[in-house]
Every structure is written in structure tokens, then in C-alpha cells.
Amino acid sequence: MPHADAARHERVFRKGASIHQPGNHGIAWRIAAGAVRLDRIEHDDAVFCGIAIAGDVIGTETLLTGHYASLATALTPCTLQPWVGGTPSPNELLQMLAQAEQRAGDLVNLRHGSADERIYRLLALLRRSQPRPDDRNSITLPSLRDIADITGLTVETSSRVLSRMRRNGLLGQRIKGAIQLVWPLSAPYPAFN
């Protein structure tokens, strides 16, 4: 297969890797697995402005303008697939619009309530970044820096909350590098000491 088709293939990113940068030109991608952090560049520094997980499409601006509007970084190991050529159907776009609004709602909720609740909700969201439900009892944690930026906390409190969760058995020990075992995380918020 000719290398001209290279951009057409699945791409994999390590945790922390930069996926695309504002101004660069490129195409839209569907996230097959993993979670992505989006930042706006505002007077010189990046400010967090969104999150996208498996199933979401990033870089749709490129269909309008040809280039990316935001900075995208891998929160966890990511697999991206180039998004279909040609103009997407109105129906498809309406679905994506609904999904974007849903994601926006999730987002503001990550900035609400106690530090424990916020991190708990973030973990619950990241859980869904595994495409196969079977894989959803273990997730790779983003860096503390990212966790802090997303939840509106500091790295220190984020670290403290996670330590406490490990101590209380909500999180399993770190196994195999950066992988974490997670326990309940099904429905509401936690309530431990």
C-alpha cells in the first residue's frame, strides 16, 4: 500500500502525546479508544476547554476551515481512526451535535461538588473511554496535572484524593506500569471517610 495512504490509517498515541495543534491543517478523527484533552490557546497559554472519549469525533472544524481550532492531547493511550471522507449526512451531524452537548454537560459536572466527587466522576467518565465493556474495570489514569486541570483542582489535592481512594480500596494498586484497577464506579457519588 502506497505511503500516500498513511494518513488514512489508524493512529496510536501514548499518554501525554500531542495529537494536533491549532492552526495545523488536517482531518477529523474518530476516537476508537482512549480519552483526549482539548485546549484553547488564549493569550499565549493553553486553557482546558473540553474532553473527548471513545466514540467522539475531534477536529470537525477541519471540514469547515481545513485546520484545527484547538490543541488536542492524549489523556490516556489513544487510538484514532480517520473520519470518513465526503460530507457527512445531516442525520449523522445531528447525532454528533447531541453527543457534543451531552459531553459539555458531563464536563461542567466535573467542576462541581467536593474534590472526591469530582475525581470520582472523572474516573467514571474515563471508564467509558474503553470501547469494550469488558475492559472497563481497569483504566489508565491521566497525569495529575491533567486531572487537576480538568476538575479545577490542584495537583496536590488530586494526588491526596487518589491516595485516599487507594487506601480505601476504591482503586486497586497500580499494576503493569500505569494501569489501575477500579472497583465500583457504577452509579452515584461516593461517601467514604
Partner DNA sequence: CGGGGTCTTGATCTCAATCAACCAATGTGG
Partner DNA sequence: CCACATTGGTTGATTGAGATCAAGACCCCG
Positions that interact with a second copy (CB under 8 A): 38, 40, 43, 47-50, 60-61, 63-64, 69, 87-91, 93-98, 100-101, 103-105, 107-109, 111-112, 152, 188
CA-wise closest residue to 109 among 130, 127, 125: 125
The continuous run of DSSP H or E covering 107 comes out as helix 90-109
Q: Which does 89 bind (CB under 5 to 8 A by kind): a second copy, DNA, none?
A: a second copy
CB of 15 to a second copy, least distance (A): 22
The alpha carbon of residue 15 and the mean position of all alpha carbons in its chain are separated, in whole angstroms, by: 11
- Number of chain positions touching DNA (CB under 7 A): 18
CB of 166 to DNA, least distance (A): 8
CB of 120 to DNA, least distance (A): 11
State the distance between the two ends of the chain, measured CA to CA, in whole angstroms.
Answer: 58
As beta bridge partners, residue 47 has: 40
Q: Which does 87 bind (CB under 5 to 8 A by kind): DNA, a second copy, none?
A: a second copy
In the shown chain, the binding pattern of residues 15 to 54 toward DNA, with x for contact by CB under 7 A and - for none, equals -x--------------------------------------
Q: Which does 115 bind (CB under 5 to 8 A by kind): DNA, a second copy, none?
A: DNA
Alpha-carbon distance 30 to 11, whole Å? 10
User: Across the beta sheet with 179-182, what order do the strands follow?
Assistant: 138-140, 179-182, 171-175
Contact between 112 and DNA by CB under 7 A: the answer reads no
Name the residue nearer to DNA (CB basis): 17 or 84.
Answer: 17
Q: List Cα–Cα distances, 26 to 5, 19, 148, 180, 189, in angstroms.
A: 14, 11, 29, 33, 39
What's phi and psi for 38, nearest 5 deg? Answer: -110, 135
Which residues contact DNA (rule: CB under 7 A)? Answer: 16, 114-116, 141, 143-145, 152-157, 159-160, 162-163
